[in-house]
Structure 1
């Protein structure tokens, strides 16, 4: 099967999706071409999936140029299916394939917010988006939460075109990798609790809620005050670390480079904080639960579905007081044994081969195989 994929912002969850899904054996007979801004994407895919498993064709980022170049690329070429990743790519791809006889599958990697459609311009944008979404042959959502969110904002899109498939991760990898020697590297004693933050430095990930929670604990005199270890760069990291400095909390936050071995770093901390404001699907939560490490999670859309039934301690999005209380409780009496007991359940529940096979079945359905 020859699949033409598109992406407009191939970061974070989309890159992880490519890495997890298309490395599965059920796609061994597929040839993938990805029309997307590159920015090191081809090197990432070659490293994790093998050279040219997904051939990247570098695209413009400006919408009109994206449409023009994609139409030009499609002329004279034959594909069995077009698969767009993300709302932006989905809308631009649907415009681009006008006049081509191609089935179009869109994966929704995010959710919609009311703030996106305020005012007259927002209403006009929503109307135009609705018309285009109604033309897409199938829309793949990664949680039931994300499906319901899409239905709420675009109720005129036929329900039969929505295909919810709970995403997954390489659970064996997260279960079996040993912990790193992070504590020794940092020179921290066993009495200091380490909190891992593995999200991007974006408003969606709620990092400042965690900063405010540490400030609350400090103001109450809680000792020993935990230290937060963050990983990676980019986003608003400069602004967020300036925020930490302004609050006088610099000694309680440690910035580490990005890691190529997430399981080892997850297992090296005492707890992971995931204070997200919204998610389409909380992949990090799946990874942490598969690693058997205590998780402090907001109960936001897309994340509450993942942590339901698990031992994760939850709080409302943005509630730094609630998060502070959970950090205190976990520091005073670790719940790690409950997470170790739940780990085999998480490994089976979030195993990647299930969503990979379900998505492949959808591919076959759309091309009539």
Structure 2
């Protein structure tokens, strides 16, 4: 219950936002959604691991998040998260604990229950059977189910993600589940300034410049893109292709080594993580996202708001975002299908995507997501 300061005023809701590992989609969600909040209505404290880009995130959210509790990213993040959450709840009276990610929810469950504070879990990923193999895996599954049943609400960022969660953990009460779709700062991508990447790299203007954005991990399907480029070099030798790769990840060195062994290094150009990719998106003739699974990716929203031709796989999560858009959808994990999709998208041209910009901007605007998160906070505090 919210605490009245006087008969006509209510103090801001105090929210402890916990992200055990604030990278990738979680980091972007935090940046986009919480910038829409008012510091007069909400008082946020952030708690999470001190990753390489934590400083950037803290800069983005400094106005709305005055308090930051960062613990070392040294392999003991779960233990550190439990300890720091317990200390934070003992030190200050919060109205809601909002855990981003399943591991964060596990770390928050017991401290929140002891403090009798409502707990919300936002699921930013999907689950698969491989995560729960063996005795240890079954124990993890039981623990996660118990954790989610202890939450007041379990927020999924897409309907695909919610169905995946229900199928994997059917004993989690259906009353806990809630879908609030992801969103982006859509006008930022509509109005982004195009970078002249081809000139910067000394590439011919006639090259097809494909953009690959995201972290280098097996889920993102980078190897499928590489195989598709090899196929296109064989079946479309007259088509000159270059790929810009903007992002980071634990396997980037391995991916570069594979490209070197296959003699493809000159086709792929790597750029480090940047908090604003709008210029790189607009510089691309086409953006390709060959993911094997997603929860609710932001990248297609960003590209479609920028009016950039887009090819994406039909994997869980991504297919939901692409439904009803001009994007070319290909079979997940298939290099043949991706190669054909790249050609089909090239033939389709840029105009259908430019015509779709206004609809994309309205559809994916993050203020709608933020409004629903605000209501969720108020709902669990009643």
- What TM-score does the superposition give when structure 1 sets the normalisation length? 0.95
- Conserved in 2, the CA contact under 8 Å of 1:168 and 1:355? yes
Which piece of structure 1 moves more, 5-14 or 231-240? 231-240
Aligned length: 367
**Per-residue deviation at 1:6?**
1.0
Which piece of structure 1 moves more, 166-175 or 38-47? 38-47
User: Equivalents in 1 of 2:121, 2:270: separation in Å?
Assistant: 36
User: Equivalents in 1 of 2:236, 2:300: separation in Å?
Assistant: 30
2:47 is equivalent to residue 35 of structure 1: yes
Deviations 1:31-67 (A, max 9, x none): 1111211225552234223356252202354423432
The 5 Å alignment of 1:67-78 reads 67-78=82-93
After superposing on structure 2, the runs of 4+ consecutive aligned residues of structure 1 that deviate more than 6 Å are none
**Per-residue deviation at 1:4?**
0.8
Q: Which residue of 1 aligns with 2:355?
A: 341
- Conserved in 2, the CA contact under 8 Å of 1:168 and 1:283? yes
User: Equivalents in 2 of 1:62, 1:36: separation in Å?
Assistant: 8
Q: Which residue of 2 aligns with 1:199?
A: 214
- Conserved in 2, the CA contact under 8 Å of 1:4 and 1:33? yes
**Per-residue deviation at 1:131?**
1.5
The 5 Å alignment of 1:1-369 reads 1-26=13-38, 28-40=40-52, 42-51=54-63, 53-59=65-71, 61-331=76-346, 333-368=347-382
**Per-residue deviation at 1:121?**
2.5
Deviations 1:139-185 (A, max 9, x none): 11110111111111111111121110111001000001221111211
**Per-residue deviation at 1:225?**
2.8
Deviations 1:274-303 (A, max 9, x none): 011111101001000111100010111111
User: Equivalents in 2 of 1:221, 1:2: separation in Å?
Assistant: 58
**Per-residue deviation at 1:316?**
1.5
**Per-residue deviation at 1:304?**
0.4
User: Equivalents in 2 of 1:231, 1:121: separation in Å?
Assistant: 36
Q: What is the SS of the residue equivalent to 1:134?
A: helix
Give unmatched runs, 5+ long, in structure 2. Answer: 1-12
- Conserved in 2, the CA contact under 8 Å of 1:278 and 1:301? yes
**Per-residue deviation at 1:235?**
1.9
User: Equivalents in 1 of 2:213, 2:40: separation in Å?
Assistant: 31
Change (3 A) 1:13 1:28: farther
- What TM-score does the superposition give when structure 2 sets the normalisation length? 0.92
Q: What is the SS of the residue equivalent to 2:292?
A: coil
User: Equivalents in 2 of 1:91, 1:30: separation in Å?
Assistant: 24
